[in-house]
Amino acid sequence: MRKLLFLGLVCALSAPLAFARAIPDPHQKHAPGNESPQTPIAQAGYSVGVNYQLQCAGCHLSDGTGSAANDTPRMKGFVGNFLKVPGGREFLVRVPGMSQSALNNAQLADLLNWLMRKDGMAGDSVPADYQPYTAEEVTTLRAKTMLNLPGTRGELIKAMRAQGIAIEDGMNY
Ligand code: HEC
DSSP class per residue in 24-85: PPTTPPPPTT--SPPPPHHHH---HHHHHHHHTHHHH-TTS--BGGGTB---TTTGGGGGGS
Q: What is the residue with the minimal CA distance to atom 29 of ligand 1?
A: 92
Domains of the chain: 46-162 (1.10.760.10)
pLDDT digits (tens, 9 = 90+) for 16-50: 666 666 677 888 888 888 888 889 999 999 999 99
Contact 55, 46 (CB under 8 A): no
Give 83 Cα–ligand 1 centroid separation in angstroms: 16
Residue 20: predicted pLDDT? 61
Bridge partners, residue 67, by sequence: 72
CB distance 72 to ligand 1 below 6 Å: yes
pTM: 0.84
Contact 116, 80 (CB under 8 A): yes
Segment 63-70 shows an average pLDDT of: 94
Bridge partners, residue 72, by sequence: 67
pLDDT digits (tens, 9 = 90+) for 124-172: 999 999 999 999 999 999 999 999 999 999 999 999 999 999 999 999 7
CB distance 156 to ligand 1 below 6 Å: no
